[in-house]
Amino acid sequence: MDNSSNGSFFKRVFLLPQFYIVILYLFAVVLLLLNYVFGLVSTAICILISILFYRYGKKEEIKEVAIPNKGIAEIYKNSLSHFPIPFAMVDIHGWIQWYNSKFEAIIKEKTIVNKNISDIFPDINFEIFPESSQDTSKDIKFEDKNYKVTIYKINQKEEFNNNLYGIYFVDDTENYLLREESLKQKISVGIILIDNYEEVMQSIEDVRKPLLLALIDRKINVWVDEVKGIVKKIDRDQYFVLFYSKHLDLFKKKKFEILDEIREINIGNELPVTLSIGVGVNGKNLPQSMEYAKAAIDLALGRGGDQAVIKNEDKYYFYGGKTKEVEKSTRVKARMKAYAFRELMEETDEIIIMGHKNPDVDCLGSAIGVYRCAQLLGKKAHIVLNETNFAIKGAYDKLIESEEYDDKLFLNSIEALASVKDTSLLVVVDVHRPSYTECPELLELSKKIVVFDHHRRSEEFIENAVLTYLEPFISSTCEMITEILQYIVDKVKLTPIEADILLAGITIDTKNFVFKTGVRTFEAAAFLKRNGADSTRVRMLFQNDMEAYKAKAEAVRNAEIYKSNIAISVAPSNVDNIAVIAAQAADELLSISGIKASFVMCELGNEIIISARSLGDINVQIIMEKLGGGGHLTVAGAQLKESSLEDVLQELKYTIDDYLEEGD
C-alpha cells in the first residue's frame, strides 16, 4: 500500500465517531482500575453516548436511503413524462395503463387509459408481446407517419405478476421515405415473351406477317417509352426491358394494359396474340433482378401465359391471365420429354410414383400410366398411396383384384421412405406443389425427380426436378401420360384396366369432353380406345349411390344466385365423400341457364373445401388463389382450415366482389 492510501485510510478512521467511543471506553477501564466509583460513572457515560450515537446514526441512515429512493421514483416518473419520444405502458392483453404526453400528442386523444393498444394500432397486439426479456420490434404506419415500435417486458416484483410492457415509438418517417425513394431509383428488369408466336404465324398470310410483328413491336416500344425505359428485341418472340422501379406503380395501376392492347391486334390472324411478362424487382444488383425476372416469366408461362408476374424478393404478384390456354397442336415437346424420361428410367433400377393427397381418378390414372412405362422398360415400379377415397375406390378395387399386379403395387409413405435409394427415380404426377404431395419427405430423400402436371404453376414448386413437363393447356395428366406412353417403345400394350383408368381420368377432368378439350385430347382417347378402353366400364367407375345423388341434388337445390350469374351453395355434411359430391354439384350448377360460375362449399373435418367451376367468362383460378387455393381458369378449388362455413361464405363473396371490381 502506498503512502497516499495509508493517509486516506487513517483519515477515514479518525473521522468515525466509533473511534472516539472506543477511546472513551479505554479511559473508563483505566479509571475503573484506579478508582472504582469514577470507573463506573465513566462506563455508564460511555454506554449512554454509544446508545445516542447508534440511534442518531440509524435515523440518518434511513433518511439517506429513503430520500434518494423517493427522488429516484420522482425522477423516473418525470423522465418518462418528459421522454422525448412517445411511450406507453400496457398489460399483457394490451390494455393501456399509462402513457406520456408525446404518446398523447400522436394519438390526439385525452382519455386513452384502459383502451386497448390494438384498437389504436391494429398492427400491435398482445400476440407479438415478448415472453422473455428480449425486445420485439415492428414497423408500423399510423396516419401519415411511419414508426419503429419497440416492445419490452418491464421487470417487476412478483406481486405485480410481471405483466406490464413498455412500448415506445420512434418516428422513422424520414428514413422510410429515403428507403422508398432509394428503391424507386433501382432498376427493374423485365422479360416479354410472345406466348403463341408459332401458332399465330401459322394462322396468318405470309404477306401480313411483317405487319403483325411491326404492330407488336410498336405497341411494346410505346408502352415502355411511357416510363422512359429501354426495350431491346433479343429474339423473334422475346424482348428485354429496363426501367426505374418507381414506374412499376403505373404499370400496376393500369394492370399491364399492354396485355389487352396486344390481344386486340387483328389484321387477319385467326388467333389473338398473347404476351407473358416477367418483372424482377428489388434485387441486390442487376444480375439478381435478372434472375427474379427469369423466375417470374417461367411462372407466367407455367400458369398458361397471357399475364404479367412480378417477383419482388420472395413475393409474387399476378396480373392478367384472362384467356384460356391455347392448345399446341404439335407434339414435338411431348416427344422430347418422352425421350428424356425414357433415358432417366433406363438409368435406374426402381421407380417410385407419387401423386397428391386425397387422389382423384386423374392422379391414379396418370400414376398407372407411368407404372406401365416402367413395365415396358422392364423396371420395378411402385405407387405411393396412403388411403383410398370414394373418387378412386372403383378403380383401386379393380387393380387390387387383378392378377396383373403384385402385392407391392401400392406402398404407404413409411414403406416408400424405407425403399427409396440413391438410384431410385421419383415420378410426381398431377401435382407440382411439394406440400400437396402424398409424402413430401420423399422429395427430400430422392436424388432424381420427374414432374408431370397439367395445373397452372403456383408460387410453391418442386424446384430440384431433373425433368419437368408442365402444360396447363393439356386437359389432364392422363392425357399427358397417354402421349408419353406412345414414345416410350414402338409397340405399346396396355391392359384393359389401365386403358379404362386413363380414359376415366381424361373424362373426369374434361367433364365428359366438354371443358379444355382439344384435338390432342380426342387423339389420346382414340389411342386408349384402340388399346381396350370401354366407355361403359369407364362410366361405371364413377357411379354414385343414392345417398350421394340426393346430397348432390340438395346442394343444387339450395344454391344462392349471387351477382345475377354466380351460383353459391353448401353441400350437406352428413354424407360420405362430401368433397367429391361438392365437385359434382359445382359441375351440375353450370348446366343451369344464365350461370357463368359456381362455387360449392363443404365441411370436411376441420377444413372448409371449395369447389369452383366456370364456363370461361369468370376466372375461378384467380378467385381461389386469393383464398389460398388454385387450379385452372375454369376448374379450381381451395381448402381453408380453422374457419366456419359462415366466415368462408362471407370471405368468398368479398373475394368475388374484388375480382369483379378489378375487371379480371
Average pLDDT over residues 204-213: 90
* Strand 467-470 versus strand 560-562 pairing type: unpaired
Based on the fold, state whether residues 152 and 295 are members of the same structural domain: no
In the numeric block, the cell 410498336 is attached to 218
Based on the fold, state whether residues 168 and 293 are members of the same structural domain: no
Based on the fold, state whether residues 622 and 478 are members of the same structural domain: no
- What integer pLDDT is reported at residue 427 of this predicted model? 96
User: Is residue 21 included in any domain, yes or no?
Assistant: yes
Q: Which of 30, 64, 80 is the last residue in one of the domains?
A: 80
User: Is residue 3 included in any domain, yes or no?
Assistant: no
Q: Is the CB of residue 297 less than 8 Å from the CB of residue 239?
A: no
pLDDT of 11 > 70? The answer is no
Across the chain, mean pLDDT equals: 83
- What integer pLDDT is reported at residue 23 of this predicted model? 67
pLDDT above 70 covers what percent of the chain?
Answer: 84
User: Is residue 638 included in any domain, yes or no?
Assistant: yes
- What integer pLDDT is reported at residue 183 of this predicted model? 65
Distance CA 451, CA 528 (A): 22
Query: What does residue 513 show for φ and ψ, rounded to 5 degrees?
Result: 60, 40
- What integer pLDDT is reported at residue 480 of this predicted model? 94
pLDDT of 120 > 80? The answer is yes
Q: pTM of the entire structure?
A: 0.63
Q: Which of 505, 524, 541 is the last residue in one of the domains?
A: 541
Average pLDDT over residues 134-147: 83
Q: Is the CB of residue 145 less than 8 Å from the CB of residue 106?
A: yes
User: Is residue 6 included in any domain, yes or no?
Assistant: no
Based on the fold, state whether residues 590 and 642 are members of the same structural domain: yes
Average pLDDT over residues 177-183: 72
Each residue's pLDDT tens digit, 566-609 = 999 999 877 877 888 888 899 899 989 999 999 999 988 788 99
Burial of 384 (0-12, 13-18, 19+ CB in 10 A): buried
In the numeric block, the cell 343451369 is attached to 592
* 37-41, 414-418, 595-599, range with the lowest pLDDT: 37-41
* 213-222, 261-270, 326-335, 494-503, range with the lowest pLDDT: 326-335
Distance CA 434, CA 452 (A): 13
Total domains present in the chain: 5
- Cα 27 to Cα 39, 526, 550: the distances in Å are 8, 129, 116
Q: For the domain that residue 170 is a member of, what is the CATH number?
A: 3.30.450.20
**More reliable by pLDDT, 73 or 109:** 109
**More reliable by pLDDT, 189 or 139:** 189
pLDDT of 298 > 90? The answer is no
Average pLDDT over residues 355-362: 90
pLDDT of 451 > 60? The answer is yes
Q: Which of 80, 109, 132 is the last residue in one of the domains?
A: 80
- What integer pLDDT is reported at residue 24 of this predicted model? 65
Distance CA 212, CA 209 (A): 5
Based on the fold, state whether residues 404 and 527 are members of the same structural domain: yes
**More reliable by pLDDT, 18 or 84:** 84
pLDDT of 323 > 70? The answer is no
Take residue 263 and report the three cell numbers written for it.
390481344
* 29-33, 47-51, 59-63, 307-311, range with the lowest pLDDT: 59-63
pLDDT of 60 > 80? The answer is no
pLDDT of 69 > 80? The answer is no
- What integer pLDDT is reported at residue 275 of this predicted model? 92
**Which long-range contacts (C-beta less than 8 Å, at least 24 apart) are formed by 395-398?**
395/361, 395/364, 395/365, 395/497, 395/500, 395/501, 395/504, 395/541, 396/364, 398/497, 398/500, 398/501, 398/541
- What integer pLDDT is reported at residue 291 of this predicted model? 92
Based on the fold, state whether residues 201 and 295 are members of the same structural domain: yes
User: Is residue 5 included in any domain, yes or no?
Assistant: no
pLDDT of 389 > 70? The answer is yes
Show the domain range for 173: 87-180
User: Is residue 327 included in any domain, yes or no?
Assistant: no
- What integer pLDDT is reported at residue 639 of this predicted model? 86
pLDDT above 90 covers what percent of the chain?
Answer: 33
Provide CB contacts within 8 A for 623, sequence distance 6+.
Answer: 612, 636, 652, 655, 656, 659
- What integer pLDDT is reported at residue 628 of this predicted model? 83
Based on the fold, state whether residues 247 and 337 are members of the same structural domain: no
Based on the fold, state whether residues 357 and 506 are members of the same structural domain: yes
Average pLDDT over residues 275-299: 90
Average pLDDT over residues 486-514: 89
Based on the fold, state whether residues 501 and 537 are members of the same structural domain: yes
pLDDT of 78 > 70? The answer is no
* Strand 136-142 versus strand 164-171 pairing type: unpaired
Based on the fold, state whether residues 152 and 213 are members of the same structural domain: no
User: Is residue 104 included in any domain, yes or no?
Assistant: yes
Q: For the domain that residue 205 is a member of, what is the CATH number?
A: 3.30.70.270
- What integer pLDDT is reported at residue 45 of this predicted model? 73
What's the angle, vertex CA 291, arms to CA 285 and CA 294, rounded to 5? 145
